[in-house]
Structure 1
Amino acid sequence: MKNDLKIINEHQKFQKVSLKETTNSFYLLLAAEIDHSLFPFFITTSKKKKYIIREAKEWSGELLKQGIAIDATTFYACLIPPGIGKYLKERQGEVQVAKYDFVILIETSSRQKMEEIQNSDEYKQMVQKITSIATATHFITAVNVKRIDSVDHKSPGVFLFNYFFADDLQQNIGIWEYTAGWFQQETGLDNSTVLLPQGNSNTKYTIINHCRWDNMSDILPSLLFKRTFQTYVLDNFYANKVAAMPILYKKA
């Protein structure tokens, strides 16, 4: 894979990311932009978002109780951190800029269970409720294509969904893997589940990286103050025609 990548600033030599086998799970991701913010942070929560969070948590609880889902977690955005990069500006208008402040992530053990959820009246009602109050939505099915380790949703923390847009899927996956060692070394990252949208998903995002840190202080200072975030991570994204759209969330 490395031979297919255009690597710059290779002399900085961050450690190679440590990966585990991917999961066999199937995922549903429902993301929406509900409370539009002119700033890179979300201070207030509208009544309509509070309502949909309550509905989502109740629905997720039922999926877990019935054993249809392995995991079902609702998130609300708190910050759009540095990391978007200039490639997205060059391709402006070709992809929906991710500003999703509400996400439900559902993990199932099989495609059959995933489709059972999708075909249920409860799922269709949830989609309708989200769509009716959102200015933008993104509903996909996905599988796991790379994994540092599973993301702990039982504990509170800061959760990342990083929506990638790239000309070439394999190049996107390759440069994610090449730069992920920076996050392990510089932020103490010990988990990550990279989601690959399936063919029936109407999306221009090539992959979505999902991971977690204990606190905002574990990740934000490195993005703001460590020069190598630009020269090693973002510059290599740009060189390989990859745009990242990161958003940090809290568990609802």
Structure 2
Amino acid sequence: MIEPSGAGYLFIGASSGPWPLPVALPRARRRALLSLLHAGAEQLRSPAGREAGVERADVFRAVLRPPGRGRPFARRTADRAGDAGGGDLLDAVLLVQTRDPSTAAARLRSDAIGDLRRRLEAAGAATVVFTGSNVRRIGDVEHDRRGIFLFNYFSAEDTEENLHAWQYTAGWFQEQTGLDNSTVLQPAGPAGGYSLINHCRWEHLRDVLPALVLEPSFRRFVLRTFADHRTAANPVLYRLDG
């Protein structure tokens, strides 16, 4: 672990509708939502946005729902994060990094974000929008190169229990998947029922997927640890869009 970042984060996640299969099949509605998020990201990356403290704005497109959902407490996970029966998932995400958490809060109140939220809602998208800060960090998540990105949406009765479970199991991912980066975000307010969101990156699907599917200790140790800490995990894998 290294010291958490002092940056702020603005998260905007949108769902294009039920997603019954593990693989995200192409759909026009998702492309429409991604286009709206790209337009919002362009505004945030403008000179005015940079001057206001926006450091980067990246858009992600969901590609796969991997194994790892915490079934014992699945009902506590926000419906918008999806379930095995085909609930709505956040399959289009805009992650904004700002100078500090107060800057992220100011961007959330801006006209540009208000307009983006209205456009997403007019398109019929279920959305989750929040600001947050980094509370645990293995290393910075690189967004300047393509790869496979994880957003793991946690729902827990106690955030400290959630943090303990994440940190206790982080070494498994470092050992089994070669993970060398991770940024854990804690929402500053209501966030669709999420207690924490873990964000990290691998070069390829083959770096992470075999361990989740074939390694028995994933269920025996990782998922068991989250269950013992009354935490539900709901992972979704993404790629940078565009």
Query: Given the two structures, how large is their TM-score scaled by the length of structure 1?
Result: 0.86
Report SS of the residue matched to 2:67: coil
Give 1:63's aligned residue: 44
Measure how far apart 1:39 and its partner are: 0.8
Once the two structures are superposed, what CA deviation does each residue of 1:55-76 show, in whole Å capped at 9, x if it has no partner?
3223313322321311100011
Specify the alignment match of 2:66 in structure 1.
81
Give the AA of the match of 1:96: D
Alignment of 1:207-226 (within 5 A): 207-226=196-215
Separation in structure 2 between the aligned mates of residue 245 and residue 65 of structure 1, nearest angstrom: 33
Partner Cα separation in structure 2 for residue 145 and residue 93 of structure 1: 22
> How does 1:5-16 map onto structure 2 within 5 Å?
none
CA positional deviation for 1:26: 0.8
Amino acid at match of 2:193: K
Matched, 1:251 2:234: no
Structure 1 unaligned spans of 5+: 1-18
Q: 1:150 to 1:134 in 2, by over 3 A?
A: farther
Distance change >3 Å, CA 172–CA 158, structure 1 → 2: same
Q: 1:202 Cα deviation (Å)?
A: 4.4
Cα–Cα, structure 1 residues 125 and 83, in superposed 2: closer, same or farther, change >3 Å?
same
CA distance in 2 between counterparts of 1:122 and 1:56 reads 11
Whether 1:229 and 2:218 are equivalent positions in the alignment is yes
Of structures 1 and 2, the larger Rg is shown by 1
Q: What SS does the corresponding residue of 2:131 show, helix, strand or coil? A: strand
Question: What RMSD in Å do the two structures reach over aligned CA positions?
Answer: 1.6
1:104-134 superposed Cα distances (whole Å, 9 cap, x missing partner) = 0001002443233223222111111112224
Question: Which residue in the other structure is 1:108 paired with?
Answer: 98
* 2:193 aligned counterpart, secondary structure: coil
Contact 2:155/2:232 (CA < 8 Å) preserved in 1? yes
Of 128, 131, 145 in structure 2, the residue corresponding to residue 138 of structure 1 is 128
- Distance between the aligned counterparts of 2:158 and 2:105, measured in 1? 28
CA contact under 8 A between 1:148 and 1:193: conserved in structure 2? yes
- Counterparts of 1:51 and 1:135 in 2: how far apart (Å)? 10
Rounded Cα–Cα distance in structure 2 between residues aligned with 1:116 and 1:97: 25
- 1:251 maps to a residue whose letter is L
Aligned identity (percent) is 34
Match of 2:159 in 1: 169
